[in-house]
Chains A and B, each alone.
Chain A
Amino acid sequence: MEIAEELAKNQKAISVAEFFEKNRQILGFDSAPRALITTVKEAVDNSLDACEEAGILPDIFVQIARRGDAFRVIIEDNGPGIVDDEVPRVFAKLLYGSRFHVLKQSRGQQGIGISAGVLYSQLTTGKSTVVTTKIGSSRPAGRWELTINTSSNEPEILSKEVVDWDRPHGTRVELEMEGSYVRSRRQSIYGYLKNVAIVNPHARISLVEPDGNVETFERVTDQMPQDSYEIKPHPWGMELGGLIKMMRYTEKKKLKRFFQSSFSSVGGIIAQDVCKLSDLDPEMAPSKVTHPEAKRLLAAFKEVRLKSPPTDCLSPIGEKLIRAGLEKEYRLDFMVTSKRSVSVYSGNPFLVEVILAYGGNLKKDGKAEILRFANRVPLLYQQGGCAITHAIENVSWKLYSLNQPGGGIPIGPVVLLVHVASTNIPFTSESKDAIADVPEIVAEIELGLKEVGRKLRTYLSRKNALSERKEKEVIIRKVLPRMAQKLAQILERDEPDINPVVAKIMGNLMVRRTFSRENGQTFVKLVVANYTDAACKFKLHETVSVEADLIEPSARVTPLGDGYDHLWKISLKSGERTTLSYVVPTDGTSFSDPVVEGQPEELVTGARVVGS
């Protein structure tokens, strides 16, 4: 026998299950604490997806209990349940699921998740997984004991019985596995569920920890998230192999009809144009298209003007719900959101939502807290390798009043929440820890971050101006009056008039009236100075019990009740001042305060203000 023939004997197919048995890190089972987190994550993702599709407000119960050296993990939901035929394969067959072939935003994508948990449980403890499910109140519940046959990747049913279950509908999974339970870190079951609760404010989630402690994340809204729809592929980003495969298996008889019915954003005119551009007969059978012709078709799609993929296939969380979710978990001073419109990478529509929260009880000198979400699923691991983190690091936060020593993640009492929704999130690995650096996605996230950054800058500068104003109030209300009093006391003189100084410090319009008496006459002088940084146009009234003499400059005088109103129209540029004067007899003349008409009250010192 030749060596090649000898070697050929050893070649054999590897089942997916066997492959993952040896490469568990790919699925996120690489460490003891992580195995538990991943199992809970996969089960909770499934439950939320199922509830959402069935229009049920999710009620999810998670329990972790010690069983000797191992842990027992229970996840129960009030979802629609699973029909008998499907149960074994949903839980005990890898790569079985409803979402892989569908272009729609959902948490699960491949159908690996929970069955990987089942596989891991079986590998580490040898125990089977128990599934209880019920699809309606009039139907009995089924209880299954399942394992995976790792060489064939087929479910093995150890037992199946009908049981009584007091729930109207739902699913309960019990797995036993090795692991270790951590609490205090962000990368923990508690941390994961907390983040799930933030972006799923319509869900109620309770967690029973191994020590018996119960944590409940309450539902804050009864509003279900916006429905997402299935869409057809968009020609942008379509690959040659994919196109050839679609053309071979399509039921449509004519090329033009095939394009119209199999792709989104392609109508009759576009289909016609594409066929013409690639020199093909629109009436020919798709299956007859040759390899070079398919290449020409693909090139033609790049030349025609196509509409963007439809956007209603995506379900953003929405500003209101994210706010509600965040406010539930943090105490905050300020929150802004940015929702970018839908964009496309490689034919997949995606959209980005960004929230920035500031202040409250967040740590002032720590790095900003980053909350990453992909299709509403929190991403806990590999923060450093994620497109979201990279986008945050690319933004120059100093422009938005945050410190960013040495570049990287900004410093300050800030939470940055970024949610990327897409029909197909490009993860860096199957364990779905980090979003790949797709340039279109990074760019969109950066734009969103800059938008919230601008709003933060406005907020912070307004806050600064306010505290400056408050500081000045302290000076003029408390310090200066005491100082004037003390100076007068030491010098044994009258208290000085502090109004001009107050006006200068506050940047106000100042009116200062002084009297000098001589030969039975009172000479009145009014100094008006504009210390504001804008031009002021206003009216100044002096109400005196007699009509004044020697008025300079001239004023309009009108009798008013017992006295006379003297009116000057004044217009002063910033920094200008003017002097008004008049003379009245000293005896029997009474004055009231000068009145300014047509200026905001807080901008005037030394006169009463009336509205114009």
Chain B
Amino acid sequence: MKDSISTRKHLLGLVGSLYDQFENGIVPQISIPTRTKNNIEYDPNDKVWVYGKQKSVRSVKTVRGAKSLLKASYLVGLLIDEHLKHDRGSTLREIYYISENWDMAKFGEQSESDRLVEDLEILTELQREDFHVRPEEDGATIFGPLEIKESTRRGERRIHCQEDVGEAGYQIPFIVMHPTIDFLNFH
């Protein structure tokens, strides 16, 4: 996970580029990898699917594009001035409700704000946890023959997601990366 100073720098870079485009008389726009099934490639090194080279441009030339960039600016404002500055956080759902207050920049529905958070992850190459954004308080659970190591406030725990938990399963924390979680065994 990145520290909040470098996260802040990334986000400021994003809004800074919009600002500079205004100043230089360029119609503000951002380009972002196209999020369709044809635009993903398998990365054999990391063994994951990554976005391909296709980009789509969002610019203020259209009402849709302009509103989307306006919302992005407000969202970045929230992340920098509320989350990072005061070390707070919100769930995805909370972000949607916070936007109720944003006049024209208000989100139509939660899927829209969720998607915009994902856009910011892609643009900054960070993760939403870096923005102090987490999924619902009551997240998903897992039940099965998987052993993990979780760092909790009470120290490191080894948990087997079938033998060490009740019928309800193991609650997946909102950060599932090293060093919080280590996947140990699958048996």
In the complex, per-residue mask of B66-78: 1 if CB is within 8 Å of any chain A CB, else 0 = 1101100110110
Docked complex Cα distance between A484 and B67 (Å): 13
Interface window among A61-69, A318-326, A450-458, A493-501: A493-501
> What residues on A are CB-neighbors of B22 within 8 Å?
484, 487, 496-498, 500-501
- Is the pair B25, A480 in contact by a Cβ cutoff of 8 Å? no
Contact of B69 among A483, A488, A489, A529 (CB under 8 A): A483
The interface residues of chain A lying within 8 Å CB-to-CB of B103 are: 482
The docked-state distance in angstroms from the alpha carbon of A486 to that of B60 is: 15
Instruction: Return chain B residues, CB-CB under 8 Å to A493.
Output: 19
Whether B28 contacts A486 by the Cβ 8 Å rule is: no
Residue numbers in B under 8 Å from A162 (CB-CB): none
Contact with A along B98-109 (1 / 0, CB 8 A): 000001110000
Please tell me if the beta carbons of A486 and B66 are within 8 angstroms of each other in the complex. Answer: no
Contacts of A480 in B (CB 8 A): 60, 66
Interface residues of chain A: helix, strand, loop or mixed (majority): helix
Task: Please report whether the interface of chain B is mostly helix, strand, loop or mixed according to DSSP.
Answer: helix
Q: A475 contacts which chain B residues (CB < 8 A)? A: 60-63, 66
Q: Which residues of chain A are near B24, meaning CB under 8 Å? A: 500
Separation of A490 and B21 alpha carbons in the complex (Å): 16
- The answer on a CB contact under 8 Å between A505 and B12 is no
Contact of A483 among B61, B66, B81 (CB under 8 A): B66
Task: Check A471 for interface membership: any CB of B closer than 8 A.
Answer: yes
Q: Does B184 contact A (CB under 8 A)?
A: no
Cα distance, A306 to B64, chains bound together (Å): 65
For chain B, the count of residues having a C-beta within 8 Å of the partner chain is 30
Whether, in the assembled complex, A550 has its beta carbon less than 8 Å from a beta carbon of chain B, the answer is no
Q: Give the interface centre of A474, A482, A486, A529 by most chain B CB atoms within 10 Å.
A: A486
Residues of chain B within 8 A (CB-CB) of A479 are 60, 63, 66-67, 70, 104
For the complex, give the distance between the alpha carbons of A505 and B74 in Å: 22
In Å, the complex CA distance between A284 and B141 comes to 114
| Max chain A Cβ within 10 angstroms of own Cβ: one of B12, B19, B23, B25 | B25
Contacts of A504 in B (CB 8 A): 25, 27
Residue of A nearest to B22 (CB): A496
Are B63 and A491 in contact, with the CB atoms below 8 A? no
A307 interface residue per 8 A CB criterion: no
Query: A484 to B21, alpha carbons, bound, how many Å?
Result: 11
Contact of B40 with A by CB under 8 A: no
Chain B residues in 8 Å Cβ range of A498: 22
- Contact check: which of A471, A483, A497, A512 meets B73 at CB < 8 Å? A483
B15 and A491 within 8 A (CB): yes
Of the A-B pairs whose beta carbons lie under 8 Å apart in the complex, a sample of 13, sorted by A's number, is: A483-B60, A483-B66, A483-B73, A487-B73, A490-B15, A490-B73, A497-B22, A498-B22, A501-B21, A501-B28, A504-B25, A505-B61, A529-B25
